[in-house]
């Protein structure tokens, strides 16, 4: 099965954060997987296309989120604040929003969730470390902290109620790497789609944490704990290596953005 296979396994698939950077990429590409794709965000969704339902919803609105999840078979949760910033907006969208979503998922009997977590849950590991899904969390800011909460919340809902979740610790998913750091964290859109497909269609996933990265020449992450998903990245950042030629100018010994995997995030916060 490939990401282009026209499978109609789900009747209704919910995509939160559909107006965001990755949400806009996924909106059309996931349509073969469901009869109806319900897309949601605060704004910027435009008119519903063929096979779509458009619902504007604030994740901090408990009743609104409950109505949003009704009649959905599975959820792709890509909504919320996606950058480092002050705690209050992150708390409302990423922490309270995740709680509201899982409460609704439980109430409506949804059995599978794909949660867009982040590599910033472990951003304070060094770039010389090799990190797997069972190592302690080391978030690099309020944003990373909120994703740690989402991973723990989804674990609770699996252990207590059997709701399966795949948490995707996404690295950097853009058309191409923008910095030398992204040569390590790069996740192509095609590989992202394949990873989501595997997360949705693998018969049993329990509670899985998978790092979202392409087959790059350098890797900080050991994805063996998610091998049961069968995800095999096909792309690599190496095709963009000419954009970042080798240099003998090494960073300063105390340059935290190159010491730690979180890059600039480790020096951004806290923002009050």
Catalytic residue list:
143
Q: Is 132 exposed, middle or buried (0-12, 13-18, 19+ CB in 10 A)?
A: middle
Output 24-30 pairs: Cβ under 8 A, ≥24 positions apart. Answer: 25/189, 25/192, 26/76, 26/78, 26/192, 26/193, 26/196, 27/52, 29/3, 29/193, 30/76, 30/193, 30/196
Residues 6+ apart with CB under 8 A from 36: 11, 12, 13, 51, 52, 53
Q: Hey, what are 269's tokens? A: 């916060």
Q: Any bridge partners for residue 76, and if so which?
A: 15, 114
Find out whether 78 and 39 touch, Cβ atoms under 8 Å: no
Find out whether 13 and 36 touch, Cβ atoms under 8 Å: yes
Torsion-angle region of residue 136: left (phi > 0), alpha (psi -120 to 50) or beta?
A: beta
CA distance 121 to 138: 6
Length reported for the chain: 272
The 10 Å Cβ neighbour count of residue 133 is 18
CA distance 43 to 183: 32
């Amino acid at each position: 099965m490939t990401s282009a296979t026209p499978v109609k396994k789900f009747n209704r698939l919910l995509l939160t954060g559909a107006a965001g950077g990755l949400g806009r990429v996924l909106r059309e590409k996931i349509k073969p997987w469901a009869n109806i794709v319900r897309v949601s965000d605060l704004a910027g969704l435009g008119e519903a296309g063929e096979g779509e339902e458009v619902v504007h919803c604030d994740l901090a609105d408990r009743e609104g989120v409950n109505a949003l999840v009704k009649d959905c078979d599975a959820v792709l949760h890509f909504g919320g604040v996606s950058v480092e910033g002050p705690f209050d907006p992150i708390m409302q969208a990423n922490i309270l929003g995740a709680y509201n979503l899982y409460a609704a998922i439980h109430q409506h009997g949804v059995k599978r969730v794909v949660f867009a977590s982040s590599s910033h849950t472990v951003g304070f590991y060094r770039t010389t470390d090799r990190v797997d899904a069972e190592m302690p969390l080391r978030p690099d800011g309020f944003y990373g902290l909120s994703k740690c909460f989402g991973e723990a919340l989804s674990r609770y809902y699996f252990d207590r109620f059997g709701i399966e979740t795949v948490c995707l610790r996404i690295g950097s998913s853009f058309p191409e790497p923008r910095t030398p750091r992204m040569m390590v964290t790069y996740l192509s859109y095609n590989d992202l789609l394949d990873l989501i497909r595997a997360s949705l269609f693998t018969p049993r996933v329990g509670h899985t944490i998978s790092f979202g990265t392409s087959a790059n020449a350098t890797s900080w992450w050991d994805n063996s704990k998610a091998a049961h998903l069968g995800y095999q990245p096909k792309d690599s950042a190496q095709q963009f290596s000419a954009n970042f030629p080798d240099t003998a100018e090494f960073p300063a010994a105390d340059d935290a953005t190159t010491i730690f995997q979180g890059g600039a995030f480790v020096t951004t916060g806290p923002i009050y």
